[in-house]
A and B are shown apart, each in its own frame.
Chain A
Amino acid sequence: MDLQYLRKLLKVVNAAGIDEIEIEEEGSRIRITRRNANASFAPPAVYQTPGIPTPVVTDVSIASEEPQKEKRKEAPEKSDEEKYHVVRSPIVGTFYRAPDPSSDPYVNIGDHVTEGTTLCIVEAMKLMNEIPSDVSGKIVDILVENASPVEYNQPLFYIQPD
């Protein structure tokens, strides 16, 4: 299953108002569930595990093809978007954690950042947009895998403000 297929699937599921769907094909199984079936604005969550039974899914980014490994380390709860400051993508593009593949990431989970600290790059049309932090605080979670596509307003980071 590629990302385009998943995106199309999400569109269909959203349009149809389906709360939960599970598909198995060619050894891969995908389950899509809405975080809150009663909330029309809630985006569906996606989880894909080739060849093994799919666990219950609660909160995974739409844009990433793979499970969000870093995110799961700290196992954020449902109310993370309320609990933490959320840094979102201002544009549609590709998310990069470092200025180039040979460099260290701008930030890691646990880092302390100040207002203006560059958190990542979102690239669109070969314009590398640095995304600065708009608060001082600690990086609690990084919600997107490096080099993944991101949508407008998609959450990128959770920050615990000072």
Chain B
Amino acid sequence: MFGYPRHHFAEVESTNLTARELAAHGARHGTLVSTDYQIGGKGRAGRKWHAQRGKNLLLSYIIEAGRPPEQCSLLPLLVSLAVADMIETATGLVAQLKWPNDIWIVSKKIGGVLLETMYSDAFRIVCGVGLNVNQEVFEGEYRTPPTSLKLQTGREYDREYLIECLNRCLTKWFRAWRQGEDRSICEQWKKRTFLLGKFVYVETGDTRSRVKVVDVESSGALVIVTDEGERETVFAGDITLMNEAG
């Protein structure tokens, strides 16, 4: 079961860092680290995740995958799917997914996940989740405009209820993944993404190419067709929508 035991902190550097320390000391599968405020919250490539104190979900789970590292590439998609399910269950809002791990509502980003593997006495994964809940003001510049559950509905949400709900959604999808149901998880993810059939930019390293998204493999990899008509598989990189590109 995800979410038990749970360690809550008023303030941490980042929940992923704290979860890694706990995992290194033997914390078990499903352990949840949550906080009201992250001093150094980070997203992909070290990008800062700005979140006001006490307003949002900032948490990390410790996962013992039970499958070899090379089979874990679907997990970021699985976790974002669980977050989208939780949002719909708890609020009625329809959340959409952007490859590989962003959660959007109505063309705005509301959350994301960041997973890190670690090897101490055993192979484990630390899974960080950030979701804007009751925050109404976002300072700074964003490539994708941010939103929150409160901005979408006008309601204040009980973060504890959302966490309980997320624990259940994650437990359900992770159990399916442990049983090898990668394909059906991927199909559910595809139902929630807005990318299929869209022209996007793929950024890898210093290169940026315009491509059309055509599919997602059960490994989690994105299948695209280039302007030259070549079908390729993308495992890493950033996807930028045509109207997002600067």
Chain A interface residues toward B at CB < 8 A: 2-4, 8, 65, 90-94, 96, 99-103, 116, 118, 123-130, 132, 147-149
Residues of B within 8 A of A94 (CB): 204-205, 236-237
CA distance A8 to B231 in the complex (A): 12
| Contact among A100, A101, A126, A130 with B118 in the assembled complex (CB-CB below 8 Å) | A130
Residues of B within 8 A of A92 (CB): 235-236
Task: Report the separation of the CA atoms of residues A80 and B111 in the bound assembly, to the nearest whole angstrom.
Answer: 45
Across the interface, B115 reaches (CB within 8 A) one of A91, A93, A118, A126, namely A126
Chain A neighbourhood of B230, CB < 8 A: 8
CA distance A127 to B118 in the complex (A): 11
**Known pairs A92-B235, A94-B204; A128 contacts B117 (CB<8 A):** yes
Given A91-B73, A125-B100, residue A102 in contact with residue B46 (CB < 8 A)? yes
* CA of A94 to CA of B207, assembled, Å: 13
A133 to chain B, nearest CB (A): 10
Question: Distance in Å from the Cβ of A160 to the closest Cβ of chain B?
Answer: 22
Q: A128 — which chain B residues lie within 8 A by C-beta?
A: 114-117
* Chain A residues in 8 Å Cβ range of B113: 126
What 8 pairs between A and B have smallest CB-CB spacing?
A100-B46, A125-B100, A94-B236, A126-B101, A92-B235, A126-B76, A128-B116, A93-B236
Which A residues are in CB contact (< 8 Å) with B69?
A: 90-91, 129
- Is B142 part of the binding interface, using a Cβ–Cβ cutoff of 8 Å? no
Among residues 155 to 185 in chain B, which have CB atoms less than 8 Å away from a CB atom of chain A? Answer: none
Docked CA distance A54–B116 (Å): 41
* Sample of 9 further A-B pairs with CB below 8 A, known A93-B236, A100-B46: A4-B207, A4-B226, A90-B69, A94-B205, A116-B119, A125-B235, A127-B125, A148-B205, A149-B205
Contact B115 A100 (CB under 8 A): no
Number of contacting residues on B, CB 8 A?
35
A91–B117 alpha-carbon span in the complex (Å): 13
B31 to chain A, nearest CB (A): 19
The answer to the question of B44 belonging to the interface, with a C-beta cut-off of 8 Å to chain A, is yes
Q: For window 182-209 of chain B, which residues contact chain A by CB distance below 8 Å?
A: 204-207, 209
Interface presence of B29 (CB below 8 A): no
- A90 x B76 contact (CB < 8 A): no
B70 in the interface (beta carbon within 8 A): yes
Contact A127 B235 (CB under 8 A): no
- Give A2 to B226 CA distance when docked, in angstroms: 14
Say whether A124 contacts B207, CB under 8 Å.
no
Distance to closest chain A CB from B94 (angstroms) = 22
30 interchain pairs, CB-CB under 8 A: A3-B207, A4-B207, A4-B209, A65-B205, A65-B206, A65-B207, A90-B70, A91-B69, A91-B73, A93-B235, A94-B237, A101-B45, A116-B119, A118-B119, A123-B44, A123-B236, A125-B74, A125-B99, A125-B101, A125-B220, A125-B236, A126-B76, A126-B113, A127-B73, A127-B75, A127-B76, A127-B116, A127-B117, A128-B117, A130-B119
Neighbouring A residues of B209 by C-beta, 8 Å: 2, 4
| Shortest distance from the beta carbon of B95 to any chain A beta carbon, whole Å | 17
A148 to B42, CA, bound (A): 21
User: Nearest CB to that of B208 among chain A residues?
Assistant: A2
A21 CB to nearest chain B CB (Å): 19
Q: Are B114 and A100 in contact (CB under 8 A)?
A: no
Which of B69, B70, B205 gathers most chain A CB within 10 Å? B205
